Structure 1
Amino acid sequence: MTGGAPTGGAGELVSFDPRDGRELGRYPRHSPADVAAAVAAARRASSGWAGLGHTERRRRLDAWRRLVVRRVPELVQLISAETGKTTADAQLEAVLVVDHLRWAAAHAARVLRRRRVFPGLLMYNHTATVDHHPLGVVGVIGPWNYPAFIPIGPIAHALAAGNTVVFKPSEYTPAVGAWLADTLDEVIGGPRVLEVVFGAGDTGAALCSAGVDKVAFTGSTATGRRVMAACAQGPTPVVLECGGKDAMLVDRDADVAAAADAAVWGGLSNAGQTCVGVERVYVHEAVADRFTALVVETAAALRTGTGPGADFGPMTTPEQPGIVQEHIRDALSRGARALLGGPDSARAGSASVRPVVLTDVPEDALVMTEETFGPVLVINRVAAMEEAVERTNRSVYGLGAAVYSRSAGTRIARQLRVGMVSVNSVLAFSGVPALPFGGTGASGFGRVHGPEGLREFARTQSVTRQRVRPFLQPLSFRRGPRTMDILLRLVRTVRG
């Protein structure tokens, strides 16, 4: 392994380039007291930020977006250096950052404006409204695989909703987290509305117990459970975007060439280190031979490594190649066949993992039940899409999925127990800022992105106001003896 774990002295965190082990920077390891201080600072800034109102917040967030656009090459370089992903993959991430930041700023006022509702029969003499107020301070715990795009979802939506944010980036990607906070500070000035704390799991635990008003976490399901347990002591509400084992379903009438190309990109881009990446494919037996041959041919041509011609780079974290290798060996020991690559594709001491395509994999194999998070595709054939749906839904995960079918794509998609589905494409839902992003089951709960993402970071308040004195007043001890009789007769007449 050329890279290293992000370790340093007792009080510092060191970031490494996984491509060559080069040290990129050193950052303080923030203690629980440091985290509490950051939350207190964000709390002091929260009333001023909330008091700006939607129009002024949008102006400042738009200025941040324009600065990010001007400095995209700088952001791309940081992402590539800390994650090892190719320049093209880092550029795609930067584009997504810009688009989602724009959407949150542009739509917060509309989504969170005061809304009138019909008061109903009993409260006919009242007006009824729903307001959305800022929560206060939101804690965001980000991952390393998309260190700018994934956290920008909760950060941008929380800020647009009027909250301040304390952000803990992954210990593997602290430079990207610092860059996001520093660029926002450049355009806002005054009290920082995006604080950053650095560290590993203990820093995230400290953030959960530091008195924030909500925590948005992205990471593994195991860590998500620990975050939820820590937040329960508050209790502090959480949004959890956890692991996935996303499936692609390929029907007999699919565009097989397009489906094969999408499977390879969806499963192997960013070295397979994508929570909504394609990890298992269920293909109809009528087109399975052709589909599989195209996948193997396309995957075999991919270039892996750190050079400028690489299609995808190395694993970001030191332990990931070992996990990938374990999953491959377990599948083969259970009777699976390797059509491309094998255990040696993930070599000890190397950060790069070559593409692997497996078939005839039992459904209880690790590569089918746990997140592999590497460039490994499983292709299993099925007799009908009903079988593919049943196998897809059997997983404890329910994050995303893809369906390829000319005639039944939408119908099949609606049968899947997942939060997001792309029909005749892969990962398309990630690129639509107006769509909520999140899963079900072991993949977590709550949503970021879209209107639902904005409402996650707002406190809902219902308000009624009496306009005129009522003809009948049932809500009083001074009501007359016939009040309820009249009211019941009225209900029977109107509602019965």
Structure 2
Amino acid sequence: MQMELIQQKGRVLNGQGNPEVLPFINPATGEQFGSVPIATAEQVMLARREMGAALPSWSNKPVRERVRIMRQLQQLLIDEADEITAVMNQDNGKSRQDALTELFMTVDLINQYCKNAPKWLRRRRIPTGLQIFKRAYLENKPYGVVGIIGPWNYPLVLMIPPIVSAMLAGNTVIAKPSEVTAATGVMMDKLFKRIPELAPFVRFMHGDGRVGAALVESQPDLIFLTGSTRTGRLVMKAAAENMTPVICELGGKDPMIVLDDADVQAAAQWGAWGAFYNTGQTCMAVERVYVAKEIYDQFVGEVVQIAQEMRVGYSPDIENVNDIGPLTFQRQIDIIEEHLQDAVAKGATILVGGQREGMFMA
């Protein structure tokens, strides 16, 4: 029963005569701990109209006034750190410590944006070239309504800072969190609503890819996407129909290179950390390593020893002793199994682990 529920994570459940919902499922335990109704295309269009109507009120606020309001969000994230990390732990499967690290990164980025926004957004004089009797100035104007689509692997730090930066620049926002970490999306929605001066200028739309498609089709003035290359292609193709500008931050394929004069022990530590942090679910995680043949055997030996000492497991407590947690949803662990099978078929040897236990790869 637990594995059946895990397989539903990130997928829509049809209630009998009820609206479609996204379930909140703990990937480590398979337990469902809530759900959220999926936004309809009509609701997305309504949000688009509301944010368009709210734009003048927000964009006309002085930059320092927007900064003051965003500082309230920054403080709220700090005040609610315990609840935020608990939800992320249940929803994503990452440890409370890793969730806290993500929260710290989020707060730090908000701080940097707020600190620099008055300087970055101020009117400034620019060169006029040969027009020596003219003066030229550059003024920053908001795009308008910005649609922001976030990912599941870092659902907080890759969603809230883009919202904050867009709003500091005078835009209103429609945010679509990942369906895989829907509970974190609902939590963020509630946090924004707790700030009366901020709530009227941002809307969260919860749901699967259909909601993301409806957001793109609603013709926002700019789309900001963090996600897979496949999703990036789909969004850019759909956005092109209306010439909507798109900013994408997509998944990477990241090598590590270890030269013959490297500190082998340090390289092994960083390589293992880069591969296994956040259970390897990071767009810039180490996916392959090129090692100089002179130190190859030593490097492999060091990595094997590190991997053997890593602890795999899940805990909802702050005092977590595990190094690697569960994969967040079914497709992720299927991909790892496919990679392992493909590598072995092509002559690779598994030196440590390789056994699947539920949503854990040990």
Q: TM-score range by the shorter chain?
A: over 0.9
Alignment partner, residue 12 of structure 1: 21
Partner Cα separation in structure 1 for residue 24 and residue 190 of structure 2: 18
Q: Does residue 1:91 correspond to 2:137, yes or no?
A: no
Residue deviations 1:1-35 (CA, integer Å, cap 9, x gap): 36232432252221111111221222111111111
In structure 2, which of residues 114, 120, 136 is the aligned counterpart of residue 111 of structure 1? 120
Unaligned runs of 5+ in 1: 355-496
Instruction: Confirm or deny: 8 A CA contact 1:49 1:163 kept in the other structure.
Output: yes
Instruction: Confirm or deny: 8 A CA contact 1:46 1:163 kept in the other structure.
Output: yes
Residue deviations 1:85-130 (CA, integer Å, cap 9, x gap): 1111111111111111111121112112112112122x22211111
Alignment partner, residue 225 of structure 2: 217
What is the CA-CA distance between 1:251 and the residue it aligns to? 1.7
In structure 2, which of residues 290, 293, 296 is the aligned counterpart of residue 282 of structure 1? 290
1:195 alignment partner, SS class: strand
What is the CA-CA distance between 1:317 and the residue it aligns to? 1.0
Range with bigger deviation, 289-298 or 176-185:
176-185
1:106 alignment partner, SS class: helix
Q: How many residues align?
A: 349
Alignment partner, residue 235 of structure 2: 227
Q: Does residue 1:346 correspond to 2:356, yes or no?
A: yes
What is the CA-CA distance between 1:153 and the residue it aligns to? 3.0
Instruction: Confirm or deny: 8 A CA contact 2:279 2:326 kept in the other structure.
Output: yes
Range with bigger deviation, 127-136 or 111-120:
111-120
Alignment partner, residue 328 of structure 1: 340
RMSD of aligned alpha carbons? 1.5
Partner Cα separation in structure 2 for residue 85 and residue 118 of structure 1: 50
What is the CA-CA distance between 1:154 and the residue it aligns to? 1.5
Partner Cα separation in structure 1 for residue 210 and residue 13 of structure 2: 15
Unaligned runs of 5+ in 2: none
In structure 2, which of residues 2, 6, 18 is the aligned counterpart of residue 3 of structure 1? 6
Greater Rg over alpha carbons, structure? 1
In structure 2, which of residues 282, 295, 304 is the aligned counterpart of residue 296 of structure 1? 304
Aligned AA (2:330): P
1:319 alignment partner, SS class: helix
The within-5 A match list for 1:33-182 is 33-121=42-130, 123-182=131-190
What is the CA-CA distance between 1:191 and the residue it aligns to? 5.2
Partner Cα separation in structure 2 for residue 138 and residue 24 of structure 1: 31
Alignment partner, residue 22 of structure 1: 31
Partner Cα separation in structure 2 for residue 74 and residue 225 of structure 1: 35
Aligned AA (1:8): L
Alignment partner, residue 327 of structure 2: 315
1:234 alignment partner, SS class: coil
1:222 alignment partner, SS class: helix
Instruction: Confirm or deny: 8 A CA contact 1:324 1:346 kept in the other structure.
Output: no
Instruction: Confirm or deny: 8 A CA contact 1:17 1:83 kept in the other structure.
Output: yes
Instruction: Confirm or deny: 8 A CA contact 2:222 2:245 kept in the other structure.
Output: yes
1:339 alignment partner, SS class: coil
Residue deviations 1:211-232 (CA, integer Å, cap 9, x gap): 2111111111111111111111
Percent identity, please.
37
Instruction: Confirm or deny: 8 A CA contact 1:250 1:284 kept in the other structure.
Output: yes
Alignment partner, residue 337 of structure 1: 349
Give the 4+ runs in structure 1 shifted more than 4 A.
Answer: none
Alignment partner, residue 247 of structure 1: 255
Q: What TM-score comes out, normalization by structure 2 length?
A: 0.92
Partner Cα separation in structure 2 for residue 215 and residue 154 of structure 1: 11
Partner Cα separation in structure 2 for residue 193 and residue 251 of structure 1: 51
Aligned AA (1:21): G
Partner Cα separation in structure 2 for residue 117 and residue 233 of structure 1: 34
What is the CA-CA distance between 1:279 and the residue it aligns to? 0.9
Instruction: Confirm or deny: 8 A CA contact 1:4 1:16 kept in the other structure.
Output: no
Partner Cα separation in structure 2 for residue 194 and residue 294 of structure 1: 49
Instruction: Confirm or deny: 8 A CA contact 1:77 1:87 kept in the other structure.
Output: yes
Partner Cα separation in structure 1 for residue 110 and residue 324 of structure 2: 26
Aligned AA (1:153): P
What is the CA-CA distance between 1:62 and the residue it aligns to? 0.9
What is the CA-CA distance between 1:268 and the residue it aligns to? 0.5
1:340 alignment partner, SS class: coil
